[in-house]
Amino acid sequence: MNFLTPGMRFMLLGTFLFSIGSLLIKMAGSSIPTMEILWVRGVVGVGLCWIILRRAGAGMFGQRKVMLLLRGLLGFAGLFAEFYAIVHLPLADALVLLFSHPVVVAVFAWFIMGEKISLGGAISIVTTVAGVALVCKPSALFGLSAGPGLDPVALIVGFVGIFLIAGAIISVRSLAKTEHPAVVMLYPPLVIVFLGPLFAQGWVRPSMIELPMLIGVAIFMNVGQYYMTKGYAIESAARISGVSCLEIVFAATWGMLFLGEIPDIWTALGGSLIIFGTLALGRSGVKELSRLSTTE
């Protein structure tokens, strides 16, 4: 793992856990409303953050409360868009759409935070985005139709979710400099717990099979979010976001193994480019850290 910076290792672990949570969302979402799944994730998230903060002896609500509340609102909206797209689109397609956000993150980080991207890092991000394009097979590039199975409403929600997720990531990057990771994590589930029931359209009593899925969604996604937040605390937002694109590869694997969704040749080629781009990003980050350490 020497080719990955510490922040990227946290992101890789978080991404893997997130991918398992996404699979469970897809499975549970066939019979459980999206907002109900999200609300359970929020309840468990509040409890997890409380335990972490209590052990760390840190305050619950942080210092920059207005910024943290904005982070919570962006997280709530972004998570709902993410959950909705995962439930209503094929798993790999949903994750491909959602994880085109590194490009938006890079632009946001450049304009808002003044973060610079090295030439090698920029080439790596372009390679990763090319991989996303291959997996997605957009009609503008390949002359292919989206197919009758794709829900247009889910596509629009997922597209909006890209910008919400990117905004949430930028807020995490800013807040992680002054706040405990668990404080940054706390606000989205807090908002979900209080606002989620207001937007819910009916509740379903989960069966003995569905209940473990809901709990699994909450555990895997909250723990995954914790490690992602730790990664953003010590790594460039634009560079580390490329690592999260590996969730597309994980999603394609889980879809094939558990959902009967067989990836085609474009998915295989795109996944290979994503992996290459991620490893190249990590290599660029290691070299940058090495140059900085020799100049100090």
Provide the pLDDT for residue 136: 64
Q: How confident is the model at residue 134 (pLDDT cuts 50, 70, 90)?
A: confident
pLDDT score recorded for residue 110: 73
Residues 162 and 104 sit within 8 Å (Cβ to Cβ) = yes
Helix or strand (DSSP H, E) at 8 = helix 6-28
CB atoms within 10 A of CB 296: 4
Read off the pLDDT of each residue in 22-46 and give the average, rounded to a whole number. 92
For residues 68-84, average pLDDT: 93
Which secondary-structure segment (H or E) carries 102? helix 101-108
Which residues are within 8 A (CB) of 79 and not within 5 positions of it... i.e. 6 or more apart? 38, 41, 188, 192
Q: Give the model's pLDDT for residue 212.
A: 93
Segments in 200-245 forming alpha helices (H) = 210-234, 237-244
The residue-averaged pLDDT of 220-245 equals: 76
Place of tokens 């409890």: 47
- How far apart (Å, rounded) are the C-alpha atoms in residues 85 and 83? 6
**N-term to C-term CA, the chain:** 25
Helices (H), 137-264: 139-142, 152-175, 181-199, 210-234, 237-244, 246-258
187 against 263, higher pLDDT: 187
In this prediction, residue 218 carries a pLDDT of: 92
What does the alpha-carbon distance between residue 176 and residue 185 come to, in Å, rounded to a whole number? Answer: 10
Kindly report the pTM of this predicted structure.
Answer: 0.77
Residue 8 reports pLDDT greater than 80: yes
User: Of 86 and 111, which is predicted with more confidence?
Assistant: 86
23: its two tokens: 């699979």
pLDDT score at 37: 94
